[in-house]
Amino acid sequence: IARAISLVVDTPLILDTALGQSVPVKFSARNADGFPGSVAWTLKVSDNQGLAVWQSSGTGNPPDPIIWDGKTKDGSWIVGLQRFTARWEMSGAALDGEVVVEKDFMTGIPVVSEGGRLRIIAPDILFEGNNPDPFAGDASQIDSNIDLLRRLGRQLARVSDHRIVIEGYATYVKGDDPKSMAREQKYELVPLSRERAHEVRKSLFTIGVDWKQMEIIAKGGSDPVAPYDDKSQAWKNRRVIMYLEG
């Protein structure tokens, strides 16, 4: 019986955050020989720190599926792009010792509808000044970019019915004279933001995302999220954001 058991985890690939907090996750424990009534089972879910966040238990044949509504022991709700481990434990007279099966899984891509397309809700991929490389500069930001790209790439590689639009941005640094800003936008910021989007596209491709499924757009210094003349905040404009279309 132990050799035949498998654990299947099903979580929505795309999570519309406008629909509420619930992120239902479905688990199916499968065994060709069934589950004897004398067997006790427990399904435990822990986060990427190893902390238990939810569990279910019973005897004999488990429900198929076992549904977790996404609410953790402390009353909080899980969100998109979180990593978890599901642990299936069985014990009883019909078994030769305890049976344990583990399965790692990740929740889906959180999105919100914006202008007729779906914006991926995740921390922005940020950059050093005048640099298109997401893996250069401050060590903590590099680690954040690497972690986010790995998590996003793993899930985006499963997306088959949407185009992935990668928008690159930059920030003005040469003052607020309209003519100077126009030149800076055309000759410096648009090319720089295009390179940033391209570098992210290359990174996602190495993780397994289809190159042709991705499109890059250079936004330059447009749509700032922070005042470009505030040196303590302007770094937030050096970013890449992503959308799902189609």
Query: Is residue 132 classed exposed, middle or buried when 0-12, 13-18 and 19+ CB atoms within 10 A define those classes?
Result: buried
User: What pLDDT digit, counting tens, does each position of 11-40 carry?
Assistant: 999 988 766 666 789 999 887 777 766 789
Kind and range of the H or E run holding 109: strand 109-114
Pairing of strands 163-168, 214-218: parallel
Task: Please say whether the beta carbons of 67 and 54 come within 8 A.
Answer: no
Q: Which residue has the tokens 């004999």?
A: 60
Distance from C-alpha of 180 to C-alpha of 116, rounded to nearest angstrom: 33
Query: Is residue 64 classed exposed, middle or buried when 0-12, 13-18 and 19+ CB atoms within 10 A define those classes?
Result: exposed
User: What pLDDT digit, counting tens, does each position of 102-133 carry?
Assistant: 999 999 999 999 988 999 999 899 999 999 99
Beta bridge partners of 120: 111
Q: How confident is the model at residue 3 (pLDDT cuts 50, 70, 90)?
A: low
Beta bridge partners of 119: 112, 243
Question: pLDDT above 70 covers what percent of the chain?
Answer: 95
Four-residue CA torsion sign, 162, 239, 223, 121: positive
Q: Where are the beta strands (DSSP E) in 116-190?
A: 117-120, 125-126, 163-168
Distance from C-alpha of 242 to C-alpha of 205, rounded to nearest angstrom: 14
Q: What is the model's pLDDT at position 5?
A: 82
User: What pLDDT digit, counting tens, does each position of 123-180 carry?
Assistant: 899 999 999 999 998 999 999 999 999 999 999 999 999 999 999 999 999 988 999 9
DSSP, res 237: G
